[in-house]
Homo-oligomer: A and B are copies of this chain.
Amino acid sequence: MVGEFIARGYDATSMEDIARATGMTKSAVYHHVAGKEALLALALARAVDALFAVLEEADATTGAPVDRLEHVVRRGTQVLVELLPYVSLLLRVRGNTAVERAALDRRREFDHRLARLVQDAIDAGQVRADLDPGLVTRLLFGTVNSVNEWYRPGGAHDADEVADAVVALSFDGLRRH
């Protein structure tokens, strides 16, 4: 259902596509949901809720700042992989409607929380301070989010392997030391 939105994009997916994917007729779909936009809102809420839940986990709120940051990077990657269609949908929202703009607002709030985590780690002297903190935040979680562009279930790597690679690359870099 949400997979159709991902494959074709939300705008390019018709209610007929969704009906076909669920084995119903178009009008049967309207018996269960208010409309296309309500379907989008449900899917976006699921992604946002899962991401915010990561920020509330014990390892994200206690311990050294750099370890809290590492935990959120790892768990954020795992959530992205496990809820791939939902999070991908969230990452592709452009703000065309009220539902989309509400999701973008929640995403922005999430990004602010991430920026604070990065700033705390810098202030604690555990993360390099020679780069702009805002830039670091965006690139760090840009790396995490980029996984949605290529990851496919049943592929060569599971969620943990991807998350470990993201953490290893982000924190220690590509170069051989």
Contacts and interface: CB of A to CB of B under 8 A. Distances in A.
A125 B127 CA distance: 26
Contacts of A172: 173, 175
Contacts of A143: 139, 142-143, 146
A40 interface: no
Interface majority SS (helix, strand, loop, mixed), chain A: helix
A73 to B, nearest CB: 9
Contacts of A61: none
Interface in A36-72: 66
- Most chain B beta carbons < 10 A, residue from A139, A168, A172: A139
A94 B171 contact: no
Interface in A113-138: 125-132, 134-136, 138
A136 to B, nearest CB: 7
